[in-house]
Structure 1
Amino acid sequence: MIPDLIDAGQKDLLLPVGIHQATLAEVEAALVQTQPTYQRRVELWGLFNQFLTLVKGYVPVDHVFLDGSFVTSRPAPKDTDVSIWVDAEGIDALTPAQQQAFGLLWSQRMSRFHCDAYLVTPCAPAHPEHKTYLHWKNATETSWPAYKNRAKLIVAGVTKGYIEVMT
């Protein structure tokens, strides 16, 4: 369940600090349907769902986290910030043609779907993608609680929550 957005002394209302678990339906109810006059939110939500559905067509998705201006009161977010956690072995198991198609889909995440998406691929330390996994895991867990204002500057002393989508 998504808690009410709070006033943290910024222009936008923010999620309270913490990781808030919610279903896709709960996210839509709290952040899209409550602001139906903001067509941009409706558009972004549709594009995010398309993107997530296509990703799931290639590999099982373990976790999805949403962040950024989409999870604030900002009327017209630029994009949807998303961290998608997929087992690296699931990607490794794709055929070369599937890996190429998945790579093409991933390369279109921003231009086609307006998703500022990060692929986090948990894997063993010996896996060739382990350093990349640690980088994006750290980015999700440590950077996302920081609040960036509309000028994209981190505001010292202001922290916020983000959403884990239960898919």
Structure 2
Amino acid sequence: MEGIKKIYINSDGGAWIKEGMNQLGSIEYVLDEFHLSKYVLKMTSHMLDSKEDARVGVCKIIRDGTKKEFDEIVERLEGCAKTESQLKRIQEAAKYIKNNWTAAKRRLWRRNGVCACSAEGHVSHVLSSRMSTLALGWSRLGASKMARLREWHYNKNSMLELVRSQQVR
């Protein structure tokens, strides 16, 4: 680790990740793309025709602005909320972003070797789409095997070749 200048951790900001970073030393936390996008979408989904402009504005303020400016745009978004649930969604998303402010800024700056990580999106797309769509219960063994099958499939490997390579029991 002596030759490594800086380590960035792409994360959702979970306490266990932050604690692990404290244990390891000079690691910088970067809010992962999946979670930042999720919460920006939560804040702006009620904006109908102007939601794309609102998303761009929110991201610009996170990247270049201050928490005070962020609070101001949050107030404007809250002013456009038509229901209590929309208001609650905006407030929850804003709280999450403010709790991960520096990490969100790092994500949007994209400087000094900070790069995106698609792990969360892949987990959601590859595993959750198959394993949680239906009300299914999975054993550890079954879940592990299904995860490997999904990985095999999404890495463009032949399922037929996999079957042919299996030992007959």
TM-score category of the 2 structures, normalised to the smaller one: under 0.3
Give TM-score, length-normalised by structure 1. 0.28
Structure with the higher fraction of residues in strand conformation: 1
Give TM-score, length-normalised by structure 2. 0.28
Higher relative contact order (CA 8 A, sep 6+): 1
Who wins on radius of gyration, i.e. which is larger? 2
